[in-house]
Structure formats: C-alpha cells, structure tokens
Amino acid sequence: MSLISITPDSHDVELEIVYATSSNFTGAPVYGRAACYLHEEAEALLRRAVAIAQHMGFRLKIFDAFRPVEAQWALWEHTPDPEFLADPRRGSPHSRGAAVDLTLIDDHGQELEMGTAFDEFSPLSHHGNLDINGQAQRNRALLIGLMSAAGWDFYRNEWWHYQLFDAKRLPVLNDHDLDEPMMPETSI
C-alpha cells in the first residue's frame, strides 16, 4: 500500500481529525480511530505546502485526509449532497488518499478566519464567495495560493479541500487496506 501516516511529529502539522469525534456534521464519530494518511504523491505535496506555510509564518491544521470508502458511504448516507460530498459509487479523492481538508493556523495555534467553519455545507464555503468578510477572503486566498504553489488542485465548493489533479487514476481503498483499521468495530 502506498499510504503514508501523517503525524504532528513527522510533518509538523496539527491534526484535528473531526470524523473521529462527534464534532462533525453527522453529530457522531464516523471513525473509530483518529488517523491521518495520504498517498505517497499527496504526502510529497503536503511536505511542500508545510514548507511554504512555514516560510510565511503559518502552519497547517488537518481535519481529514484518507477516508476509507466505508466512511464515505456513512457520510453519503447521512447527507447525500453531491455539492459537498462525492458519491461513493464514483469514488472520492479522499478514499484514494489523494485529498486533504485543512486550514491555516498562526504561531499561537489559532485558526485563521475563513468565513465559515470546516464542513459548512452552504454557498458561503465556496471559493470566491463575496458574502464573507474581507479578512476571510484574504485568508482563503492565502491558503489557495500556497496550496496551489505546492502543486495541489482545489474544489470550488469547499475552501478547505485540496486534492491531486489526477486523483481518479488511483484506486479507491477501504478500511481493510490499512494495517490498523480506522473504522469502528461492528458486531455481526
């Protein structure tokens, strides 16, 4: 498998894997274990983004990265909204280890104002939305600029989502592809 573990120590990022908590749009944990993985190509681009952010005096805070297809199904079944979630039948860049959801934090660990919270499923989350304040616009421009400079593509509806340009060429992976599962154990 070509997924690489992303940790605060190995990549100098902050992790807040929201789907391992109840602080996400479903209101319940989706993952049984908080973990962060990326495909080796995406991991290399993440390292570039970390370096660019550090050069600018910022750090990256990651909310989600690899998402087992089982988790994509759980999210889709809760909120089947193609404007904000990939239909698991087509496959998500997250389920390929080719996407990361993140924001910028300052030298005090505070998130920069982005106009909405992570995973707000509304037009306010779209890049270029003029209904958010100017500071949030500048911060989003800063984030998209550094992520683009590092080689990432973006999704127009989510200021937090970045992915490999050709993510669809990678296989969709499930929880069993990991050495240690992320999904909660279920009784049969």
* Residues annotated as part of the active site: 158
Length of the chain: 188
Contacting residues for 141 by C-beta, under 8 A, at least 6 apart: none
Could you write out the DSSP letters of every residue in 113-142? P-SS-TT--SGGGSTT-TTS-HHHHHHHHH
Q: How far apart are CA 139 and CA 112, in angstroms?
A: 7
**Contact, 29 vs 185, CB < 8 A?**
no
